[in-house]
Structure 1
């Protein structure tokens, strides 16, 4: 990775269609890197007959030829491509969603025999760009990225999320050329936090995909006994003390929220990868997972007692650039996008098939500016951070208002689109809806910031009890 961005430290969630409230397949992730590093929203158009379509990374020397046909897709690129594109997540015209990546670590035994190719291997920054515009199903996505890893090598350990209206897949890269992917059971979900998470691999059937020589690689290098269950996490993953404070507690809280009937400990190395929820998971439940900071537990970072003595790394942190949930249900596609810190922002239900990016979602640089959606949400969260107990209620009220109004707008436009038959008019409606939802959310947060600034004028230390007669 480059020296400016560093490795991202994300948290991911994948939900099968029978585990979700609406029958949707949902994948999502917090993109965590820096406290001030804006993201934009992009709608990339369909292109045919693109001659000499070629990708060359700015982050390392990875490069490859690409197909001549590029499917349209949404994405959330960096404010600058100087260090790489980092498109990170999106939904394409064939209703396939992808999110990349969940950074992880492989152990030294594996890397001794198949090290990462940091010079020429594929990195996070390139994955969405070279995969999502060229696939028609989630399985195709896994297969395409797997072939790239085997041919070009990987530069880092990563987890990658894929979905279509029928299924969700989680793929993990465990060494320079070895990978595995597991289909999330329809009635289950998974929460992942910067660890290689897939456990027992079943080599027969249709629920796993893997690198061509995975078994031979493991057994020939004596990385695992042949008579034991092939456990990917044990073979390729890590079990460090840092995992107990940085990673496993996030999986614990995610599973605690969705499956509270099962008692577990936050520092348990053996938390399962796959869980069944106690009740159907709504999109709001998924948002709550990605927005969690251990509230209602002793580990809440907003508790003054934990200000300089945090026990566990939470899911929602100040370094989150954006948080997304990609929801697919038959013909319905929703790119839920929260700019900045999920716990202090709002998920806007964008139509990924749009062709015009809402004005404020295409602007924003490293330094604060008023014309950027990222900075609108970031300003409000920064002001609320000055005293969470004092200003948290104002923030929560603004979030509730924005959620209600944007989701109602989405509902209204869903009804309009269902009645419209002209493709061009449908696109016009989509663009109109995206702009209205974006403006509604950012206007509410602008008002919130104005309110907080006004209130905080009374917080100055340069105060003195004034004589009312003077």
Structure 2
């Protein structure tokens, strides 16, 4: 990775089935990690019908794809610049399909030797843009992206999350043309961290597995499987290196430790299951905690009480390079216009706030559409980053103030959603309903920014007394 390109977005992902949540919602979530100063915007693309054929051309690697004439409305979080690609990353479309892309991963040299990555194939920067506006179900999303990979090739090894009102899917693109996907069982969840995670593929179970057309034949002909009685995607295509045990598996371990504490495992284990059942039904706040976590209550917490070596042994889930974090929540019991919530936390998750936006909103607040590489106060991204920067050097002094703000805003924003959900159910005209949901989404964002700015001003004022040039005169002199 260089400063001028975005080869990988080293993220952490969560997928949760509808019977694994307390309220029956389906959720997919991810931290987008890249650089400490690289703003994200939040936008709504309107429904659009083209009169002539449109072709997507990547500014990153030249990938080309002819697009359908009709594109659905969808939310997205693109980069502040499209010089290296759009990297729209996550969103929910007008048909209630949620998508998050990508979870960067790595394939082993053996499989890449048989099917190399394609230099001008589809990559992270293009995936959401050429898939999400053109699908009506999560399964359609897997199929569309899979066809693109098989025909155009892939330039990267990636994991992609899909969800709709019925199911959640995790798809892995391993090599230039090989991919597989698994439906998350309704009563289960998955945590993924920069590794190929899918395990046993059941080719006969088409309700729960989808794969590249000739995946099994490719593996057989190239003698890539060391087990004649199993087809373990992770073992065949994945890496199993020391770096995995430092960088990736500890995050999966911590996620499973939080959601399924009854099962004892080790942070460096290479055999952590992809699919896991929670000990208790999960709330959205459980996902918020995990995305903002850094091994709390273990010796590996960089802000904890372990030794210097322990505190920096493993890569935490929340870190300074996070650009944005999202939880895409689909609530099947509500009408289509109301059921999708795009929860968005800009900047470092541990120092930010998840703000709820109804996915059917007409537009986003202007502050969420601004921000360049250098700081500017008119940008929501930079205002959240500023608060974190003020807390960082004085964490013991200001950390509790930040936690208090986050708790207060979680309560207020949760209450706002409860009230607006009930009010929205009383509005029967679609245009009026969308206007109301847009208004409430903007109010949620304004409330969070107002409180963030208030604490920022307080910390700036108090920080003036923390200068190393300060001198406390003895009162008796």
TM-score, normalised via structure 1 length:
0.97
Residues 327-356 of structure 1: CA distance to partner in whole angstroms, max 9, x if unpaired?
Answer: 111231110100011111111111111112
In 2, distance between residues paired with 1:467 and 1:109?
71
Contact 1:219–1:226 under 8 Å retained in 2:
no
Instruction: Give the corresponding residue for 1:76.
Output: 77
Contact 2:297–2:304 under 8 Å retained in 1:
no
Instruction: Give the corresponding residue for 1:327.
Output: 329
In 1, distance between residues paired with 2:308 and 2:14?
27
1:311 counterpart (305, 313, 327): 313
Residues 413-457 of structure 1: CA distance to partner in whole angstroms, max 9, x if unpaired?
Answer: 112210001111111101111110000001111111111111211
Instruction: Give the corresponding residue for 2:111.
Output: 110
In 2, distance between residues paired with 1:465 and 1:436?
44
Instruction: Give the corresponding residue for 1:138.
Output: 138
Deviation at 1:226, TM superposition (A): 6.4
Return 305-314 or 243-252, whichever deviates more: 305-314
Aligned pairs for 1:155-304 (under 5 A) are: 155-205=155-205, 206-225=207-226, 227-303=228-304
Instruction: Give the corresponding residue for 1:39.
Output: 40
Count of equivalent residues: 469
Contact 1:300–1:306 under 8 Å retained in 2:
no
In 2, distance between residues paired with 1:148 and 1:6?
20
**What secondary structure, in the 3-state scheme, does the structure 1 residue paired with 2:20 have?**
coil
In 1, distance between residues paired with 2:13 and 2:466?
38
**What secondary structure, in the 3-state scheme, does the structure 1 residue paired with 2:100 have?**
strand
Instruction: Give the corresponding residue for 1:355.
Output: 362
Deviation at 1:124, TM superposition (A): 0.2
Contact 1:5–1:34 under 8 Å retained in 2:
no
Deviation at 1:409, TM superposition (A): 1.6
Aligned pairs for 1:331-410 (under 5 A) are: 331=335, 332-410=339-417
User: Please, what is the CA RMSD of the aligned residues?
Assistant: 1.4
Aligned pairs for 1:45-124 (under 5 A) are: 45-118=46-119, 120-124=120-124
Unaligned runs of 5+ in 1: none
Instruction: Give the corresponding residue for 1:449.
Output: 456
**What secondary structure, in the 3-state scheme, does the structure 2 residue paired with 1:419 have?**
coil
Contact 2:118–2:155 under 8 Å retained in 1:
yes
**What secondary structure, in the 3-state scheme, does the structure 1 residue paired with 2:345 have?**
strand
Instruction: Give the corresponding residue for 1:128.
Output: 128
In 2, distance between residues paired with 1:339 and 1:355?
20
In 2, distance between residues paired with 1:6 and 1:142?
22
Contact 1:359–1:435 under 8 Å retained in 2:
no
Deviation at 1:228, TM superposition (A): 2.1
**TM-aligned CA distance change 1:82 to 1:50, over 3 Å:** farther
Return 217-226 or 289-298, whichever deviates more: 217-226
Unaligned runs of 5+ in 2: none
In 1, distance between residues paired with 2:360 and 2:308?
42
Residues 369-395 of structure 1: CA distance to partner in whole angstroms, max 9, x if unpaired?
Answer: 111111111111111111222211000
Return 125-134 or 346-355, whichever deviates more: 346-355
In 1, distance between residues paired with 2:460 and 2:25?
40
In 1, distance between residues paired with 2:468 and 2:306?
23
In 2, distance between residues paired with 1:6 and 1:109?
21
Deviation at 1:359, TM superposition (A): 2.0
In 1, distance between residues paired with 2:34 and 2:161?
18
Residues 214-239 of structure 1: CA distance to partner in whole angstroms, max 9, x if unpaired?
Answer: 00100100001462210000000000
Instruction: Give the corresponding residue for 1:8.
Output: 9
In 1, distance between residues paired with 2:11 and 2:221?
33
TM-score, normalised via structure 2 length:
0.96
Deviation at 1:6, TM superposition (A): 3.4
In 2, distance between residues paired with 1:50 and 1:70?
12
Aligned pairs for 1:147-158 (under 5 A) are: 147-158=147-158
Deviation at 1:4, TM superposition (A): 3.0
